[in-house]
A and B are shown apart, each in its own frame.
Chain A
Amino acid sequence: MSIQDDPVQREIHQDWANREYIEVITSSIKKIADFLNSFDMSCRSRLATLNEKLTALERRIEYIEARVSGFEGIHRKVLFT
C-alpha cells in the first residue's frame, strides 16, 4: 500500500497545495473587490461633498457678482440638468 499511498498521497498533497494556492488567489481577489467597493464609496462621498461646496460657492459668487455689477446683467437663469 505504500506505493499506492505515495502516488495518492502525492496527488492529495499536490491537490492540497493547489487548493491552498487557489484559495490565496481568491481571497486576494476578494480583498481587491472589497477595496474597490470601499474606495468607490469614499470617493463618491468626497465628490459629493465637493459638489456641495462648489454649488454653494457658485451661488455665492453669483450673488456677489450681482451686487457688484448692479443687477444689470442678471437674467433669470433656470438651468436644468
Chain B
Amino acid sequence: MPLVKRSIEPRHLCHTVLPRGIKNELECVTNVSLANVIRQLSSLSKYAEDLFGELFNEAHSFSFRVNSLQERVDRLSISVTQLDPKEEELSLQDITMRKAFRSSTIQDQQLFSRQSLPIPLQETFDLCEQPPPLNILTPYRDDGKEGLKFYTNPSYFFDLWREKMLQDTEDKRKEKRKQKVRGNDRTLETEKVPRAPHDRKKEWQKLALGAELAEDNSEEALKEREANGSATYHDRSGAPMYLEGMDGPFSLAALPYSQMNELLNRPGDRMYTRPHDPPPLPPMHPLGDIKPPSMISSSSGFSDSRPQSPAQMHGFNSNTPPPPPPPLPPPPPPLPSMSSSGPRGTPPPPIPPLPVQQQTPAIPPPPAPLQIAPGVLHPAPPPVAPPLHLSSPARLQQILDKGPPPHQSDGTVLPPPPPPPLPLPGARISSPCPPGPPPVPSFLSGAVGSPASHSSGKKHSASLPPISDARSVLLEAIRKGIQLRKVEEQREQEAAKHARVGNDVATILSRRIAVEYSDSEDESEFDEGDWME
C-alpha cells in the first residue's frame, strides 16, 4: 500500500454534528457539505502547488546540469578541432607517469534522513505527538550525551554502522601492516635463495635422457627440495607453473621454509598459509584447492570472514609483497598504458570485473601487481589468471627466464603503481583525517605517501638495483612518503580516536568505504569502483 504523502483535509463531507434548532436539516447538511468541498479544494490546490514545486526544482537542477554540459561540449568541440596529432607526447614517461583517469564519483548519501523528508510528510510528522522533552535533562548529564538520545535516536543505526566501518578500516590497516612486516621478512628470505635451485635444475636437465626423464628428475628434485624444506624453489616453480597442471608435488612445494615452520606451529592456519609469492592467485588446485580458497579468501577474506583474519594473515603475506597495489580499480586507460609499458607477456587479465566483486579480485590482482611483483618479488613472472599448464621443465625454464626481463623493466614498471595509488591514497589518508584536509592537499601528500603506504614492496623496490636515474626522484619521494606515512598513521589513529566525524559524515563514510574496500582488495590489489548510485 503506498504511503500517503498528501491527504486532502476534510475527509468526510457530511460527518459533522448538526447544530440543534435547525429546521431544514437537509439544507444544513448540503451547506456543510459544500463548505467542506471548498476546504477540500483549497487543500488540493495547496498540495498541487507543492507537487509542481518539487517537480520544478528537480527540472531546474537538471537544466543547470544540461547547460553546463552544453558548455563543456562546446569547449570540447573547439579543443578537438585544435588538436594537433603531431603534438602528441609519446614518451614512455608520459604514459606511465600520467595520473590515471578517474571520473568523479557522485554518490547518493543520506537519502532518508530527517532533512530530506518532503514537506508534506514533514507536516504530517509534525502533527504527531512530540516525544517527551528529555532534552531538558541534558545539562545535568555527566557524559555529555543528549537526553533524548536514550529515548529515541534517529541516527542510531547510522552511528552504529559508522563505528563499525571505522573499526573495520583500522583492523584492516593493522593487518596490512603486519602483513607488510611479514612480507618484508619473507621477501628478504626469498631474495637470497633464487638462483641456486635454478642451476641445479639446469644440471638435472642436462643429465636428462629425454623429456619424460627430465620431468621425472625435476619432480624428484622438487620432492627432494620439499623434504629439505627449500621452499623457495618450489615457489618459483610452483608459482610460474600456474598450478593447475602441476598439483601434487608443487602444492606443498609452494610453502616457503619459514612458512612451513609457521605451519607446523599453527595447525589451525594450515589451510591458509600458502600464498607467499605469487601474489596473483594462480588458481591452484586442491592441495591446490587450498590455495585458491586461500588466495581468494585472502583477497576477499576481509570482507567475507573477519574472524579468520589472523589465519588469513598468512594468506596475505603473499599478497603484501606485490603490495603497491595499484589500488585503483585499474580503469581501462591506465591498464592499457601500464600494459603497454610493461612488456608482460601475460595480458593484464580480467581486471574489469574487479571493482564489482570482492571475490573476483582474488584472480585479478592485476597487472599492476604483476608489474610490480616481478621486480619486488622475484621472478615469479606474472602468474596471472591464465592457468598455464606447465608440465615440462622447458616451460619452467621459460618462466624462469622471464624473471630477468622483469627485472630490467622494473624501473619502468614502478611508475605505474605510483600514479594509480595516488588517487586512492588521497582518499585513504584523507579519510582518517577527516574534516580538515581538503581532498587536494591530502591528495598531494597522499600522492607522495601513497607509494610508501602501499607497501613494503615499494621499499623493496627502492632497495632493489634496477632503478634508473630517472626514477631517483621517485625514490626520494617514496622515502619521504614512508616518513609521511608514519606521521599520517599517527594522525589517523588520533583522528579515529577522537571521532570528530560530525556530519561531514557522508564524505568520510564513503571514504571509509573506499578505504575498506581498498584495504580488503589491496590484498587482491583492487579498488572499489562501483559504489555508484
Name A's B-contacting residues (CB within 8 A): 11-12, 14-15, 18-19, 22, 25-26, 29, 32-33, 36, 40, 43-44, 47, 50-51, 54-55, 57-59, 61-71, 74-81
Contact = CB atoms under 8 A, between A and B. Distances in A.
B92 interface: no
A70 B79 CA distance: 12
A46 B475 CA distance: 53
Given A74-B101, A81-B106, A61 B26 contact: no
Nearest to A44: B55
Contacts of B440: 75
A36 B47 CA distance: 9
A50 B79 CA distance: 27
Contacts of A78: 104-105, 427, 439, 507, 510-511, 514
B506 A80 contact: yes
Nearest to A62: B103
Contacts of B47: 36
Interface of B: 8, 13, 24, 26-27, 29-30, 33-34, 37, 40-41, 44, 47-48, 51, 55, 58-59, 62, 65-66, 69, 72-73, 76, 79-80, 83, 89, 98-99, 101-109, 333, 422-423, 426-427, 439-440, 443, 506-507, 510-511, 514, 533
A22 to B, nearest CB: 5
Contacts of B106: 55, 79-81
Nearest to B506: A80
Contact of B40 (A18, A19, A29): A29
A64 B76 contact: yes
A12 B26 contact: yes
Given A55-B106, A80-B507, 14 more contacts: A11-B26, A14-B26, A15-B26, A15-B29, A22-B34, A26-B13, A29-B37, A32-B44, A43-B55, A55-B533, A62-B103, A74-B99, A78-B104, A78-B507
20 contacts: A11-B24, A22-B34, A32-B44, A36-B47, A36-B48, A44-B55, A54-B65, A54-B69, A55-B106, A57-B69, A61-B76, A74-B101, A76-B102, A76-B426, A77-B439, A78-B439, A79-B104, A80-B109, A80-B507, A81-B109
A65 B506 contact: no
Mostly, the B contact residues are helix
B24 to A, nearest CB: 7
A59 B103 contact: yes
Given A15-B26, A43-B55, A68-B83, A63 B103 contact: yes
Q: Which of A29, A65, A75 has the most CB of B within 10 A?
A: A75
A80 B511 CA distance: 10
Contacts of A63: 101, 103
A67 to B, nearest CB: 8
Nearest to B80: A68
A40 B118 CA distance: 14
B76 A68 contact: yes
A17 B76 CA distance: 69
Nearest 7 interchain pairs by C-beta: A77-B104, A76-B423, A18-B30, A15-B26, A71-B98, A76-B102, A66-B101
A22 B37 contact: yes
A74 B108 CA distance: 22
Contacts of A11: 24, 26-27
Q: Which of A26, A76, A78 has the most CB of B within 10 A?
A: A76
Nearest to B38: A25
B69 A58 contact: yes
Contacts of A58: 65, 69
Nearest to B532: A55
B51 A47 contact: no
B359 to A, nearest CB: 25
B443 A76 contact: yes
Contacts of A61: 69, 72-73, 76
Contacts of A50: 62
A54 B104 contact: no
Nearest to B423: A76
A23 to B, nearest CB: 10
A69 B80 CA distance: 9
Contacts of A55: 106, 533
A57 B69 CA distance: 8
A60 B66 CA distance: 14
Contacts of A67: 101, 333
Contacts of B40: 26, 29
B442 to A, nearest CB: 11
A32 B44 CA distance: 9
Contacts of A19: 30, 33
B107 A81 contact: yes
Contacts of B27: 11, 14-15, 18
A80 B108 CA distance: 7
A74 B333 CA distance: 13
Contacts of B79: 68-69
B54 to A, nearest CB: 8
Contacts of A25: 37
A44 B66 CA distance: 17
Contacts of A71: 98-99, 101
B102 A77 contact: yes
Contact of B33 (A22, A33, A36, A62): A22
Contacts of A79: 104-106
